[in-house]
Structure formats: structure tokens, C-alpha cells
């Protein structure tokens, strides 16, 4: 197992005050995640996360006027990339932390990542989830925790009157658990970056890379890899138009927030970029863009019906962004990479998604 790079700055422990609108990113935290950290994470997660395929997508070549390759994180054991950051963070715990256990908060995919790693590594895990999370994600998380040590459980909360970060910190203090946040932690970001490291190893380099953005963990990791291995590659983050906190934060240089946005891309309902992800995204990402609910729904159906890939709306954001950028005449270069971040979708949602795709634009 790799040693920890000595140059990583000390982690900030002032998480309680982060999230105030207007906060400025700390440039010093950009160095918290480097290509070396991501390479180390790649070795560390071996045996827990899967090296997913990089698949050619000829059906997208013509509309994008480029050679398109998809990184299919929907084919992870939990159906999403989140297993990478969870495995990296949990494998870095010391013996005492492993014995006490971990806690996290998540709308679903990070929850499953922690639950899967908890089962594989036999570490107790408590997972705080919103009561309105997709049933497929709630049920899958509970099933995984059945194989984890005693004390592992899902704690549901009402997102309309409870702040998950506060609840997570309270339970962590009461039970002596180690908190692993869903995106805003150097180990989590480094783990998520391994998806792009594999994509570049298998099919790179790329002229343009499209990555979805919720809290920014996947995007921060992807941009770190791209700028280290192919500095000219344009990294574009994509988020829903009704959950555009990252885009506005990126453009203004000040933290913007959106609470409980009404988007079908439930994996991107994070209220704001993190203390670590904000400066990394602002430093290493080239552009942010938004897509409408109709564009997200159309991209989701395209994945199912044309690509024969199960993608949840959050997972289809990169495709939605690429199609929109190409339709506006933006030059994407000869080689385009797109990360499909996940495929955990309740199939009974497909009629609603189809209706949104067929409806008027926003």
C-alpha cells in the first residue's frame, strides 16, 4: 500500500463555519490534492472499487463532431463513482478509527460507497440519509450494511427542517465516529480522481472533458488529473440550471448556495461547493455550464435507448452538457471524454423523465 505523500497540507478542522454565502476560496487548499495523491489512491482502492471500462460512443461522434469516449462509472459494484472516494478514505483510517467506526451523510451514492466499503473492510458505519432519497438508494444502502459490523445503520432525516452536516457532526461527536463527508475531503477527492486517471490511461489524452458537478468532488479530482496529464485539455463542469450554485461560485469567485433545488438529478442537490472543492475547481476547471431539466431528461433517455446504458439523471449530466455545447457551436476538439457518474435510478421514474424530456424547454 502506498505511503502518504508528505507534502499534503494539514486538513482544515473549521468545517462548521463553511457554507456562508459570499465566502472566498482558500488558494492554499488547492495543493491538498495532487496527481501523486490520486495515483496513491488508485493503488489504495484496488480490490474494493472496479476499474470501469472506457467505451467508445460512435453515436455521439457526429453530433459532437469528435471522437467520444465514455467512462462508465455506472458499472461500479454500487452503480456510481462514489465507491472510489469512500474506499480511499476508509483505507487510510488508523486502527482506532476503524474500531470506532465512521459516519457520513449522503442522498444515496456516497452512502452506498461507504456501506460497500464498510462491508468489505469490516468497519462499522452510520449513514445519514434524507427520507426523500430515491428508494433504490435507500434500500441498496441498507442491504449493504447488513454485512457490515454491529452498529451499522441508516439514520433518516427530513431535509426540509434538518441540515445534514449538522446532524452528521452531532452524531459523530455523540458516538465517537470518524466523519467522512461525501465530497469535501482530500482523501475523497483523490479517490474520485482515480476515475479520470483510468480514463486517460485507457483512452486519453482528450481535448475536452465533461464532468458532472454536485459538491465538486468528482470534478475537482478530474480536473487535477487532466491538468497534470494533458494541460491543454478543457475541463468543463456541468450542473442543473436550477442547482447552479457551482457555476455562479465559479464565475463570481464567491460561494453561492442553492438549498434543496427541484432537480431530477438528485445527486447534485448539494447546496454548495466545499472548502476544498471550491478552490480546486476554480483553479483547475476551465468552464462551468448548466443544462435544463428537459436537457437532463433527454440525455438520460438517450443513455437508455440509444447507448443501452443505465444512467441516472445526475450520471447523464456530462452527456447533456456535451450535446448542448456542440449545439451552440463550441469547438470541442478531436477527442472528447465524458464521465457517466452513476446509474442508480428507480425505473418507475422513467415515465416522469420521459414526460420532462417531451415537455417545453425551460
- Cell 475547481 appears where? 281
Q: What is the DSSP letter of 25?
A: P
Grid coordinates representing 137 are 438508494
The count of other CB atoms within 10 Å of the CB of residue 358 is 11
CA distances from 269 to 12, 129, 260 (A): 24, 13, 6
Options 66, 106, 152, 341, the catalytic residue: 341
Closest to 130 measured CA to CA, from 102, 104, 169, 100: 104
The total number of residues shown for the chain amounts to 362
Options 42, 71, 82, 137, the catalytic residue: 82
Q: Are 108 and 135 in contact (CB under 8 A)?
A: no
Closest to 352 measured CA to CA, from 297, 289, 285, 295: 297
Catalytic site includes residue 252: no
Catalytic site includes residue 12: no
Q: What secondary structure, in 3-state letters, does 147-211 show?
A: CCCCCCEEEEECCCCCCHHHHHHHHHHHHCCEECCCCCCHHHHHHHHHHHHHHHHHHCCCCEEEE
- Region of residue 329 (phi > 0: left; psi between -120 and 50: alpha; otherwise: beta): left
Query: Catalytic amino acids?
Result: 82, 341
Amino acid at each position: 500500500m502506498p505511503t502518504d505523500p508528505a507534502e499534503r497540507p494539514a486538513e482544515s478542522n473549521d468545517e462548521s463555519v463553511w457554507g456562508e454565502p459570499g465566502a472566498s476560496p482558500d488558494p492554499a487548499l488547492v495543493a491538498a490534492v495532487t496527481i501523486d495523491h490520486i495515483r496513491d489512491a488508485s493503488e489504495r482502492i484496488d480490490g474494493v472499487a472496479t476499474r470501469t471500462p472506457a467505451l467508445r460512443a460512435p453515436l455521439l461522434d457526429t453530433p459532437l463532431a469528435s471522437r467520444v469516449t465514455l467512462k462508465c462509472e455506472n458499472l461500479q459494484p454500487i452503480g456510481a463513482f462514489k465507491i472510489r472516494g469512500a474506499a480511499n478514505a476508509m483505507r487510510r483510517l488508523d486502527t482506532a478509527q476503524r474500531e470506532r467506526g465512521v459516519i457520513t451523510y449522503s442522498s444515496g451514492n456516497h452512502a452506498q460507497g461507504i456501506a460497500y466499503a464498510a462491508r468489505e473492510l469490516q468497519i462499522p458505519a452510520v449513514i445519514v440519509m434524507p427520507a426523500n432519497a430515491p428508494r433504490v438508494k435507500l434500500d441498496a444502502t441498507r442491504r449493504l450494511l447488513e454485512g457490515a459490523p454491529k452498529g451499522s445503520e441508516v439514520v433518516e432525516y427530513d431535509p426540509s427542517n434538518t441540515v445534514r452536516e449538522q446532524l452528521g457532526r452531532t452524531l459523530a461527536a455523540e458516538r465517537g465516529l470518524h466523519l467522512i463527508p461525501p465530497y469535501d475531503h482530500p482523501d475523497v477527492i483523490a479517490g474520485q480522481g482515480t476515475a479520470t486517471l483510468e480514463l486517460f490511461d485507457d483512452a486519453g489524452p482528450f481535448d475536452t472533458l465533461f464532468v458532472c458537478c454536485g459538491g465538486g468532488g468528482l470534478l475537482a479530482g478530474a480536473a487535477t488529473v487532466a491538468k497534470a496529464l494533458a494541460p491543454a485539455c478543457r475541463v468543463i463542469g456541468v450542473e442543473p440550471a436550477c442547482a447552479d450554485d457551482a457555476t455562479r461560485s465559479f464565475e463570481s469567485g464567491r460561494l453561492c448556495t442553492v438549498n434543496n433545488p427541484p432537480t431530477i438529478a438528485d445527486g447534485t442537490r448539494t447546496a454548495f461547493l466545499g472548502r476544498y472543492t471550491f478552490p480546486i475547481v476554480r483553479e483547475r476547471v476551465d468552464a462551468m455550464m448548466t443544462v435544463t431539466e428537459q436537457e437532463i431528461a433527454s440525455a438520460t433517455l438517450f443513455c437508455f435507448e440509444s447507448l443501452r446504458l443505465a444512467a441516472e439523471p445526475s450520471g447523464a449530466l456530462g452527456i447533456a452538457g456535451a450535446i448542448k455545447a456542440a449545439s451552440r457551436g463550441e469547438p470541442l476538439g478531436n477527442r472528447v471524454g465524458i464521465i457517466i457518474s452513476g446509474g442508480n435510478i428507480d425505473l418507475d421514474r422513467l415515465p416522469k423523465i420521459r414526460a420532462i424530456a417531451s415537455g417545453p424547454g425551460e
